[in-house]
Structure 1
Amino acid sequence: MKPLPHRPFARKRILLLEPDPWRAESLRQFLSAEGFEVLDQPPADGGVDVVLLNLGSGSVEEARSRVERLRTEQPGVKLAAFVKAVEAETVFPCLLLGVKGIVPFDAGREEVRSALACVLDGSLWTPRPVLSQWIDRIVSMGLGGPADQAFSASERRVLHGLQEELSNKEIARRLGVTEATVKFHVGKLLRKTGARDRRDLARLFQETAGGAARRGA
């Protein structure tokens, strides 16, 4: 008997918001082959696992408006978006509004697949350089309002320890908490940033700190 093809997203519903009909059809075929039930309109029951929308055209304000409207219409839904300009000015407003997956407009199928898997798992997916800038701004408190809420005060203190390459035990001693508490916060940071492990998280913050130092030189 011929084995069934692997369909990693079987029984998942995705709302595809792509204005270009040719691109929409190509994406629909790809997503269907991956196992998704692809919708082009919000279902009456509101049961959508993830929304994939195209923010590739229009201004930042237009993108912000579209995401805010989706947040109102589909509260709690996970969002991933295609963007043409993978830059802080374009990406940060989306992240602040809760978009969990930032995918370059010309991304290949493997990158789209990985981004959707990451978003569905509750993690963040965005190109590494922008992620470094995003974390750098939050850690330095360069953004206010929703950005301050991205990481808790305890998580930010742990982040500073990671930037200094401290071990979990050293961070715990500095903060006056148990090592288990530090491990708990590191786990949450891994999920929020999409880093693979603690070493990857530390390396990300080393890159971020290096960039900040160069900018301040």
Structure 2
Amino acid sequence: MTSLVVVDDQASIREALAVMLDLADGIDVLGTATNGEEAIALVAEREPDVVLMDLNMPVLGGVEATERIRAAHPGVRVLVLTTFDDDESILAALRAGASGYLTKEADRAKIEQAVRAAGSGQSVLAPEVQQRLLALATREPRRPVEDSVNFTAREREILGLIGEGLRNPEIAARLVISEATVKTHINNLFAKAGFHSRADAVRYALNTAS
């Protein structure tokens, strides 16, 4: 039996997933949470095998919640279920420790199968996610970023937070600065490094952190 916690800020989706999965053979839903903070507390209380995690949520998003859950409870597997399949979201979630990534296009059978697989220690990636990761691995860089790029200390700090998957409002809250200031720093570091998208910045942050 795979025990599960469902995390999603939309009540209709959260409740539908909980009911559906609790009825599935071999899955026991222990509870639900509406944001990352609630998820962390619930995991500590109930110690599930798997957390089915949304990404874009108020209070605390899924990427940071995944990272904190995995750090405190290494045996708990996090399976992302989200509407986002962009490079930035995928890389940030996997870097945070997610063992699987599905989009909400997945049908009931695929979600059930993925939960069971995660509970048994397997990694599960939606086909479209696998394709994006393959494209990232084989994509020619637009322009190599030199190690000597003269980022300011604040720009490097923001670049690291982009690499963690934080979006502009979350970065502003973390650094206690305005969102407009965050955007200014991002525009400056993009210009210095020749980034064309946040995905470029995420890849660079991951490469320099490894």
1:3-82 correspondence runs (5 A): 11-34=1-24, 35-40=26-31, 41-42=42-43, 44=45, 47-57=47-57, 62-82=61-81
Per-residue CA distance 1:55-104 (angstroms, 9 max, x = gap): 1457xx94432222222342231110112121222111111222112111
The number of residues matched between the two structures is 137
Which secondary structure does the structure 1 equivalent of 2:69 belong to? helix
Per-residue CA distance 1:38-71 (angstroms, 9 max, x = gap): 1222354x5321111111457xx94432222222
TM-score, scaled to structure 2: 0.53
CA pair 136-147 structure 1, distance change in 2 beyond 3 A:
farther
Gaps of at least 5 residues in structure 2 are 32-41, 142-202
TM-score, scaled to structure 1: 0.51
Is the Cα–Cα contact under 8 Å of residues 79 and 99 in structure 1 kept in the other structure? yes
Q: Which of structures 1 and 2 has the bigger CA Rg?
A: 1
The letter of the residue matching 1:17 is V
Gaps of at least 5 residues in structure 1 are 1-10, 151-217
Which secondary structure does the structure 1 equivalent of 2:99 belong to? strand
Q: Distance in 2 between matches of 1:147 and 1:136?
A: 16
C-alpha deviation, 1:129, in angstroms: 3.6
Runs of 4+ in structure 1 off by over 3 angstroms are: 135-140, 142-148
Is the Cα–Cα contact under 8 Å of residues 138 and 147 in structure 1 kept in the other structure? no
Q: Distance in 2 between matches of 1:124 and 1:31?
A: 19
Q: Distance in 2 between matches of 1:38 and 1:99?
A: 19
Q: Distance in 2 between matches of 1:124 and 1:68?
A: 16
Percent identity over paired residues: 19
Q: Distance in 1 between matches of 2:121 and 2:111?
A: 16
CA pair 43-65 structure 1, distance change in 2 beyond 3 A:
closer
C-alpha deviation, 1:139, in angstroms: 7.6
Is the Cα–Cα contact under 8 Å of residues 57 and 84 in structure 1 kept in the other structure? no
Pairing 1:83–2:85 present: no
Q: Distance in 2 between matches of 1:43 and 1:129?
A: 32
What RMSD in Å do the two structures reach over aligned CA positions? Answer: 3.3
- Larger RCO, structure (CA 8 Å, separation 6 or more): 2
Q: Distance in 2 between matches of 1:133 and 1:21?
A: 29
